[in-house]
Amino acid sequence: MKEAALNVTNFNGKGSFTSGLQEAIDALPKSGGIVWVPPGVYTLHRHVRLRSNVTIRGAGQSSRIVRAPEVASPLMSEAQAGETSVHVENGSEFTVGMEVSVFDKAQHGWYATHAFIVDISENRLHLDRPINRPCHPERNGGVAHAFSAFVGWEERGCELESLCIDGGDITVSAIHLVRTVDARVKGCVVQHWLADGVSVQGGAGAIVTDCLAEGCLGHGFHPGTSVQHSLWTNNIGRDNGRDGLYFCMNVRHSVVSESTFYGNGRHGIGGLADGGDQYNVVANNTCVNNARHGIEASRGKDNTINSNICLNNSQEEPGRYSGIALMDVTGMTVTGNRCLDDQ
């Protein structure tokens, strides 16, 4: 039986907040299929929700996914848990249909509220779901038009292929996959996103290959939250605000290989072992000109670092940071690496 295939341009009509992407995905049969994204610019006002066994396939860097200009405003009063509206200083630049994040210094990342605006009355934004945790003006509370481009939540076999996701200059990573099984991200470019580039949290069997994450404010790549059996290979993470690739909590049985991480604001590869990461392999990577360590591993055990090249790191403060930093680790296998400086 031939796999169902739809062209996103047939769904990119007036009233779509995702340039037809969500509508095309939703129009596929339950068995899944392919959404073809031909060359062009596709503007998002909210995230695109992925589905099991659905592939979003572009034509490379000519298939550009961009986010609408960012809008933000401080909170004027407490956003109380359970309420479905928020009072902001200036509601005039928000529009109905936008996705927003409600946050403060204490409630951000996983703890922020992500919702769609369903109505606006002067400076009060009415949301499609309740606030999950209280946010306060005195804690720099605010509302921002901040969101992921693609979200996969507990899906199986969802794929992104040959797309350029351009932010224009953690829970709003460009690609944010949560508890997925056998997800695939192949040949995608993420540029200048306001958080991480590619984030895979939980689940198993994800493969991220042949991707570029550059100029993101957070990490380039971010496996975390107990993800298992994932493969990250032939990727490039460069000029990101934090790590080129960051191991978060309890990553197990995963491989990072044949990749290049350079010019990042912290480590080339960071966080390995910390937070319970175990039985992972970091092999045949090149970590060059990063601000701090080339590869950083601390407070953990039973990971392998093999045959990597770490060159000219410690750019933030010459001589302070290592090619490979091992701090309070046990049972680590570290072999065949080259750490050097040729500046």
Residues 285/260, Cβ–Cβ less than 8 Å: yes
Q: Which residues contact 30 (CB under 8 A, 6 or more apart)?
A: none
Q: Are residues 168 and 277 in the same domain?
A: yes
* Residues 158, 111 within the same domain: no
Q: Which of 144, 171, 187 is the last residue of a domain?
A: 144
Output the DSSP codes for 21-81. HHHHHHHS-TT-EEEEE-SEEEEESSPEEP-TTEEEEE-GGGEEEEEPPP-EEEBSS-B-T
pLDDT for the residue 1 = 63
pLDDT for residue 169: 59
Q: Are 254 and 175 members of one domain?
A: yes
- Rounded to 5 degrees, what are φ and ψ at 268? -65, -55
Does 42 lie in the same domain as 25?
A: yes
Confidence (pLDDT) at 203: 98
Radius of gyration of the chain (CA): 21
Kindly report the CATH number assigned to the domain that includes residue 328: 2.160.20.10
Residues 184 and 114 in one domain: no
Q: Are residues 126 and 199 in the same domain?
A: no
Give the residue numbers spanning the domain of 104. 72-144
Q: Are residues 255 and 165 in the same domain?
A: yes
C-beta separation of 261 from 268 below 8 A: yes
Task: Tell me how far apart the alpha carbons of residues 113 and 127 are, in angstroms, rounded to a whole number.
Answer: 10
pLDDT at 170: 60
Tokens representing 338?
């080259």
DSSP assignment letter at 181: B
Say yes or no: 132 and 154 in one domain.
no
**Beta carbons of 210 and 187 less than 8 angstroms apart:** yes
Of 129, 144, 159, the residue at which a domain comes to its end is: 144
Would you call 301 exposed, middle or buried from its count of C-beta atoms within 10 A (0-12, 13-18, 19+)? Answer: middle
Q: Are residues 90 and 130 in the same domain?
A: yes
Separation between Cα atoms, residue 297 and residue 200, nearest integer Å:
20
Rounded to whole angstroms, the Cα distance separating 268 from 283 reads: 13
Residue 180 one-letter amino acid:
T
- Asked if residue 98 and residue 165 are part of one domain, the reply reads no
Looking at the structure, tell me whether residues 81 and 109 fall in a common domain.
Answer: yes
d(CA 269, CA 319) in angstroms, rounded, equals 18
pLDDT of residue 126: 98
CATH number of 125's domain: 2.40.30
Write down which residue in 144, 160, 175 finishes a domain. Answer: 144
How far does Cα 306 stand from its chain's mean position? 26
251 and 291, same domain (yes or no)? yes
Contacts of 192 (CB under 8 A, 6+ apart): 166, 167, 168, 169, 214, 215, 216
From first to last of its 343 residues, what are the pLDDT tens digits of the chain?
678 999 999 999 889 999 999 999 999 999 999 999 999 999 999 999 999 999 999 999 999 999 999 899 999 999 999 999 999 999 999 999 999 999 999 998 889 999 999 999 999 999 999 999 999 999 999 999 999 999 999 999 999 999 999 986 566 899 999 999 999 999 999 999 999 999 999 999 999 999 999 999 999 999 999 999 999 999 999 999 999 999 999 999 999 999 999 999 999 999 999 989 999 999 999 999 999 999 999 999 999 999 999 999 999 999 999 999 999 999 999 999 999 999 8
Domains in the chain, number: 2
